[in-house]
Chains A and B, each alone.
Chain A
Amino acid sequence: MEDLTSHPQDVRGVDFAANDLSDDALLRRFADGDAGAARVLTDRLGPRSFSVALRMLGNRAEAEDVTQDAMMRLWQMAPDWVPGTAKVSTWLYRVTLNLCVDIRRKKRPDRLSDVPEPEDGKASVVDRLQDEARKDALQLALSELPERQRQAVVLRHIEELPNPEIAGVMGISVEAVESLTARGKRSLAAILADRRDELGYDNG
């Protein structure tokens, strides 16, 4: 997994010393009144929450609302956080997934037009269209998975979390995570096999 903490240039206007601190330490500093700690935590954890929310919801505006809400809960619980008991990111993933479940219960189906667009401007138009088709296809296939399989697959294969951490996020055993990801991946492969022509696998 890409180590987001190793890119201080990603952090907007924050001192470099704060970037070296753990999430635990930053949360403590925020609880003690340090505004800079909130900026580092936003840059470090916000994209993870947003990425998962977008994959779970398939809608950018809703994913942004979920991320804002999840981060709000992070700020609120900061004084009560006990360092060392769990990872802050695990807690945030769990809150994010719960918020996504709440939204998905209220609204169906997904709006695929809001799938993230590729940022690579150098690709040819054909490549870009094919790339978008693939991403839409992945998002579409993900949206057809049962909720828990979808959560496990997103956390394992897109966020690249280790199984024990996924187990912590989802509140289940590691064996259950393995089972969910295996079944989820099989289902995805079956869904995608049905759409092989649309994806242009064999052309690229």
Chain B
Amino acid sequence: MTMADEDLKLDHLFADARRDRLTLADDLVVRIQTDAEAIRLERLAPTARPKRGAWTRLFETIGGWQGFGGLVAASAAGVWIGFAAPTFLPDPANLLTAQDTSYLVADLGFDTSFLENTE
């Protein structure tokens, strides 16, 4: 038998192999589809969650609810001190509306006598 004959026989074998083109077993299709679905859902999950906005990020930066609670308490204390200061603290309202400011300048250690001469 010549090489060309062998080639011809081989071509027949290839043709047989091609004729029996394979289909996937049902259980393999299920396995592949299960994988695909798991990956599809995994990929969809992050976009389904609400986006983290600027306020959310700030909230997390200050320590979540615990940090936020502390911040609220400190703010409330500040407001309360502003309205009803303990006696040992200067009244902040007076500080803001002080009429006589000369002692503030004097406290800086400058010579303020020239101010008195102009009057």
Question: What is the size category of the interface that chain A forms with chain B?
Answer: 35 or more
What DSSP secondary structure best describes chain A's contact surface?
Answer: helix
Q: Which residues of chain B from 30 to 56 have a CB within 8 Å of any chain A CB?
A: 31-33, 35-37, 39-40, 43-44
Total chain B interface residues with beta-carbon distance under 8 A: 30
B22 contact set on A, CB distance < 8 A: 47, 50-51, 54, 116
B29:A64 contact, CB within 8 angstroms:
no
Task: State which of B5-13, B84-92, B95-103, B105-113 sits at the interface with chain A.
Answer: B5-13
Q: Is B115 an interface residue (CB 8 A)?
A: no
A46:B24 contact, CB within 8 angstroms:
yes
Closest to B24 in A: A46
- Residues of A at under 8 Å CB distance from B? 2, 10, 12, 30-31, 33, 35, 38-39, 42-43, 46-47, 50-51, 54-55, 64, 67-68, 71-72, 75-76, 79, 116, 118-119, 131, 134-135, 137-138, 157-158, 160, 185-186, 188-190, 192-193, 196, 199, 201
- Residues of B at under 8 Å CB distance from A? 1, 3, 6-7, 9-11, 13-14, 16-18, 20-25, 28-29, 31-33, 35-37, 39-40, 43-44
